[in-house]
Amino acid sequence: MALSLRQTFQATRRIVPCCALCVALWPAAAFAAAGDEATHESDHQEDVLELPEVHVHGLSLNKDQQLGPVPKSTPWPAIPPSLDGKDLDDWMKARMLVSKDAKVTVVILEPAKHRELTQAGMAALKKWTFDPQMKGDDPVDGELTVRIHFRTR
């Protein structure tokens, strides 16, 4: 069975990209370092981190890329006993105003759905201590926005 010129051309159009792909990938496959080979999901069990039931997210640099207030002590909020054992997935957002003398004022931007969580978060945030924001070698007033995520499920 002889192929027409058109059929040969179409077959070549399919084969050439495949060959080009193989040639392009060959160096990567040939020079793969030890440990680059595929792994199984079970190999990653030791990589799993158990996170606490409260997560705090913050922004450490301000818009001018100055070193923002640096937390020295950040005690975690505790889940209040009235909500203990309940499935929680709630969060709050607060702004920490840190004076150049390192005095902290907490402003709630968005409270948690549960009033008790907002109160627990506020109590913990009031215990946070900071080094003040620095502009060069001079301490200046600064701020830090934090989001506290309460999750028990």
For 17-26, write each residue's pLDDT tens digit: 555 445 444 4
pLDDT band at 95 (very low <50, low <70, confident <90, very high): very high
Is domain 53-151 annotated with CATH 3.40.50.300?
Answer: no
Residue from 84, 108, 82, 79 nearest 95 by CA: 108
Do the Cβ atoms of 103 and 141 come closer than 8 Å?
A: no
Domain positions in the chain = 53-151
Helix (H, G, I), strand (E, B) or coil at 23: helix
Mean pLDDT of 78-107: 92
Long-range contact set of residues 102-105: C-beta below 8 Å, sequence gap at least 24: 102/69, 102/129, 102/130, 102/131, 102/132, 102/139, 104/128, 104/129, 104/130
DSSP type of residue 41? G
Percent of the chain with pLDDT strictly greater than 90: 38
pTM above 0.85, yes or no: no
For 22-80, write each residue's pLDDT tens digit: 544 444 444 444 444 444 455 445 544 454 555 555 544 455 556 778 889 999 898 99
